[in-house]
Structure formats: structure tokens, C-alpha cells
Amino acid sequence: MLSLHSFLAEPIQRLIELHRLSGSDYHSQAQLLGAFDRFVAEQVPPRPAQLSAALVQAYQERLTGLAPGTQDNYWSVVCQLCRYLAARDPRVYVPEPLTRRRAHLRRRPYIYPPEQIQALLGAAAALPPSGSLRPHTEQTLLGLLYCTGLRIGEAIALRLDDFQPAQQRLLVAAGKFRKARWIALAPSVCQALSDYVQRRLAFMAPCAAAPLFINLRGRALCHCSINHDFHRLLQACGIARGGPTSPRLHDIRHTFAVHRLLAWYRQGEDLNARLPALATYLGHVNIASTRYYLQPTAELLGQVEQRFHILYREQVKPPGGVS
């Protein structure tokens, strides 16, 4: 059940039910409407007379840090909601769809070197207000994304009872295409998550179905707010933005995949045997989806070259048998 808090909660719920009655699953769209609801709930004053142009345009401004395709997804459901509300109240502002439709070209992801990951975690731990839960939330969230390759939507949808420290695993119940999976955790990751949970429970009374990661108001984190904070962390760490490979939050997932592959190369693992496991861990339907995440880096190409050279020397010998 989607948790809604703004003055638009009732009409949003009616719109979701209307689409589902027509036979549509409308699950992902409902989650995007939930993000808009959280944004509206955070505004002051909390209950405006109607959905104004200023409020809608402020949300569009919040979306500018997201990838173009993601912006389109978030904006399209807001347009649907506005048209639905305007049918009953002509004062409601109805925005135009995003007209800058982009060619469907996949951008090259940014692979963060380990020192930049460490810098981002350090900057997250220094976020204000001092002594609050926020820096612990941001640092633990970023660390979890890097160590598991979770999608940001999967991470912020986690509930307290999805974390099972005794079994050192996480249940991702709200994965892409509603595909659930278990995520095995390294002991160090499990300990860091356990430490965060203790702080989080001290901040708010325990409830098994409550969000694992919460903001200072005790509510589930919003994708837009996390993305906004992440851009501030990039700036604080001196990680340049702009251009076709501008760093994004989602690129941490790409970084996890590349660094995992690099570790397997260094350990001498059989990559053909390991790739299906990586695809399952990332929540992909097949290996073809995982290949997009395996971007070449200087370190990775060096390992590939080294392995090829070793295999070449073992299998191809010069005349006379001298190696």
C-alpha cells in the first residue's frame, strides 16, 4: 500500500485505482506519484488551495539533476495527475509534456575510482545537522549502494524487516519489474547496516514495516532529495560534473559491477561461471543486461591483457618448444 501524506493523497489514490481498474498494473507509476506526493508534503504552506503552477514548476526544477529518461518518467505521471485534477477543478495548472525528446542513446556511465568513493562517504558523514541521523543515513545508504549495486529505488524502498542480520542478507521485495531477490551481505556491510539500524531505532520507535532509511521527519527518503544531496557531495569532493559522462548517483551501481569484475580477474576466477551470478545479484533478467554495466576501465583492461598473455604463453609455444 502506497503511503501518501500531502493534500493530494486522496486524488492520487483515486487516480491509481482508476488505472488499475482499467487493467493496468500501474505499479511503477504509483511509486513516481508517491515521490511527487512527498515533495508536495514538504512544501510550506503544507495545504495550498490547489495544485499551482509554481508548485509544479518547482518539482520540475527538482528533477533536473536526473537522467533525461528518468525525468520524462517522473514528469509524465505529474502531467497525468494534473489533467485528472483539472477535469474537476479548472484552476489546476496543467503543464506541457517535456518537449525536448532525446534520441534513445545510452550514455557512458561514470566509474568512480575507490578514492572518490571514500571521499563521498566521508563527505556524507559530515553533512549537517551535526548530531542528527542524516549523516549516518546518507553515508550508510551510499555505502550500501556501492557494496551491493542496488538501484536507488530499491534501497529507499527497503523496510526494517527486510534486513536480516543473523542471515547476513537483505530482501529486495520491490525490485524492477516487481522481481524480488535476496542480497547476500559481506560481514563488514552487515555490521555497518546493523550500526545504522541501532541509531535509526533510537531516533524513531521500531516498526517492522517502517522504512529502513528515513529523513529527519521520520519518513521514507525521496529519490529527488537524495539526488539533490548527492550533487552537493560531488561538489564538496571536487568531482567535476557536466559533459556526456557527468557523474550520477546511478553510476555507483555501474561502479559496483566493474569493481566486482576487476576483483574476480585479480582472483583468477572463471568469468564465464561468475557472470550469471552477478546478473542475478543485480536483479537482471539475463546477462545481456549486465553487459551494459561492465564498462572498460584502465585497470580492467590491464587485467584482461594480463590474463590473455598468460593463456597465450600456456597454449601457444614458439618453434623448438622454448617459451
- What DSSP string runs through 268-307? T--HHHHHHHHHHHHT-SSHHHHHTT----HHHHHHHHHH
Ranges of H-type helices in the chain = 9-21, 27-41, 53-62, 68-86, 114-125, 134-148, 152-156, 187-203, 223-236, 251-267, 271-282, 287-291, 298-315
Catalytic entry in 159, 176, 181, 231: 176
Euclidean distance between CA atoms 233 and 208, whole angstroms: 31
Catalytic entry in 151, 200, 254, 260: 151
Euclidean distance between CA atoms 150 and 169, whole angstroms: 13
- What DSSP string runs through 136-151? HHHHHHHHHHHHH---
Catalytic entry in 136, 200, 253, 260: 253
Catalytic entry in 248, 250, 254, 259: 250
Quick one: cell of 226?
Answer: 537524495
Task: Report CA dihedral (139, 144, 147, 153) to the nearest 10 degrees.
Answer: -120
317 a catalytic residue: no
Residue with cell 479548472: 90
176 a catalytic residue: yes
231 a catalytic residue: no
Q: Three-class SS of residue 131?
A: coil
Q: Which of 20, 36, 26 is nearest to 81 (CA)?
A: 36
Euclidean distance between CA atoms 158 and 259, whole angstroms: 24
151 a catalytic residue: yes
Q: Three-class SS of residue 214?
A: strand
Q: Are residues 149 and 256 in contact, defined by beta-carbon separation less than 8 angstroms?
A: yes
Instruction: Write out the catalytic residue numbers.
Output: 151, 176, 250, 253, 284, 293
